Amino acid sequence: MYSRTDALDLIKSLIATHNFTETEIMALFTTDKKSSSLLQKIMIYLGGVFIFTGIAIYSNLIWSDLDSLARVILTLGSGFISFLLGLFCLSDARYTKAATPLFIIAAFLQPAGLFVFMDEYLPHTGNFAKAACFVFSFMTLQQITTFMATKRTSLLFFSIFFYYGAITSLLSTLEIDSDIAPLGLGICGLITIWGVARTEHHPIAPFYYFCFCILTATAAFDMLESTRYDVLLVGVAAGFIYLSTLAASRTVLTVGVLSLMVFLGYFTDRYFTNIVGWPIALIVMGFVMIGISAFAIKLGKKLSGPHAVPHGSL
């Protein structure tokens, strides 16, 4: 029978003999923990989905039977309670993982409750943009203030979402219909996410990179379509591809390649449909797309290499 000291000496001898690394040894103790942690996280998120779905179904069933106050309490009250419960979970290490689903539920129910409150108690102006501007501004203030105190990534995600929702609503309220407004929002959004991607909150970057790249590409197309400057669309797509190398983002690369293909299709349809060389143009475009796809695959491998900026998961 080995004593504890003899057992430790034997373990050390086996580690030295077989050249076990620290990572391999720690893996023996962390595998079960990781599995249980993943299962716990899945169960927590499923619980959040069931709670939100139950509230939505119940509200729909009894909505017509409720008075104004009850409707506000059911929506805004439920959302605010979920938000407070999320903050409470952050104060206890045992319930920290439950905070994110609660914040998500609150991020859906609180804006809905504010819209219900304005619809029930404030004069009907018929201007949805003004109501949205107020609601999103309030939610931005709440989310960003809480994020600064807690440093939770989910709160930063909703802070960005509500902030740009408020800006969009404000532009609509001011009746600023210029085509350059969406383009400006897209570029500003890309700059914002560029900064976020270089922090510990980088898991939210791919989603917003995708959204703001799509917004920028669409706005640029609306501005330049059917003008003599439409050739600049190729520059927009090339800019996305170059940005993907700087940001080490496959998401930006994907949008850049897709944008380039769409823009080339637009050029082909505009300039080559009514000439004899139309079939040749299609063939040339096909080879160009194949070349672009090969380049994208090669670049994507570089972006996922050891020197790429790591991206976590949401």
pLDDT tens across 250-285, in order? 899 889 988 988 887 787 777 766 665 566 766 776
Whole-angstrom distance, CA of residue 279 vs CA of residue 261:
17
- Indicate whether 101 and 210 sit together in one domain: no
pLDDT in tens, 1-14: 566 776 677 777 77
Q: The pTM is what?
A: 0.74
Q: State the sign of the Cα–Cα–Cα–Cα dihedral 210, 212, 213, 214.
A: positive
- Indicate whether 203 and 285 sit together in one domain: yes
Q: Give how far Cα 54 sits from Cα of 4, 24, 45, 57, 59, Å.
A: 55, 44, 14, 5, 8
Least confident of 27-41, 46-60, 232-246, 247-261: 27-41
- Indicate whether 218 and 288 sit together in one domain: yes
Do 94 and 110 form a contact (C-beta atoms < 8 A)?
Answer: no
Is the pLDDT assigned to residue 64 strictly greater than 50? yes
Least confident of 17-21, 202-206, 291-295: 291-295
> In the numeric block, which tokens belong to residue 164?
């740009």
- pLDDT of res. 307: 44
Can you spell out the DSSP letters for 179-248?
THHHHHHHHHHHHHHHHHTTSTTGGGHHHHHHHHHHHHHHHHHHHHTTSTTTTHHHHHHHHHHHHHHHHT
Residue 311: give the domain boundaries: 178-314
Q: State the sign of the Cα–Cα–Cα–Cα dihedral 310, 257, 243, 246.
A: positive
Residue where a domain stops, chosen among 98, 122, 146: 122
Residue where a domain stops, chosen among 75, 94, 122: 122
127 within some domain: no
- Indicate whether 186 and 258 sit together in one domain: yes
- Indicate whether 220 and 302 sit together in one domain: yes
The DSSP call for residue 125 is: -
- Indicate whether 304 and 183 sit together in one domain: yes
- Indicate whether 36 and 117 sit together in one domain: yes
Give the type of residue at 239. Answer: G
Domain total in the chain: 2
**Nearest by Cα to 56 from 104, 99, 108:** 108
The confidence band for 107, taking pLDDT boundaries of 50, 70 and 90, is very high
pLDDT in tens, 294-306: 666 666 666 655 4
Residue where a domain stops, chosen among 122, 140, 164: 122
**Nearest by Cα to 209 from 314, 129, 105:** 314
Is the pLDDT assigned to residue 111 strictly greater than 80? yes
- Indicate whether 314 and 240 sit together in one domain: yes
Q: Give how far Cα 91 sits from Cα of 40, 96, 102, 257, Å.
A: 19, 8, 14, 45
Task: Compute the mean pLDDT over every residue in the chain, rounded to the nearest whole number.
Answer: 81
Q: Give how far Cα 13 sits from Cα of 20, 23, 135, 234, Å.
A: 11, 17, 65, 64
- Indicate whether 99 and 32 sit together in one domain: yes
Give the angle 39-40-42 at the CA atoms, nearest 5°.
65
- pLDDT of res. 59: 76
168 within some domain: no
pLDDT in tens, 144-202: 999 999 999 999 999 999 999 999 999 888 877 677 888 899 999 999 999 999 999 99
Give the type of residue at 98. Answer: A
Is the pLDDT assigned to residue 314 strictly greater than 60? no
Average pLDDT over residues 81-99: 86
142 within some domain: no
- Indicate whether 191 and 117 sit together in one domain: no
- Indicate whether 100 and 210 sit together in one domain: no
Q: Report which of residues 225 and 314 the model is more confident about.
A: 225
156 within some domain: no
207 within some domain: yes
Is the pLDDT assigned to residue 32 strictly greater than 70? no
In angstroms and rounded to an integer, the radius of gyration of the C-alpha atoms of the chain is 26
206 within some domain: yes
Average pLDDT over residues 138-149: 95
- pLDDT of res. 310: 47
Give the type of residue at 179. Answer: D
278 within some domain: yes
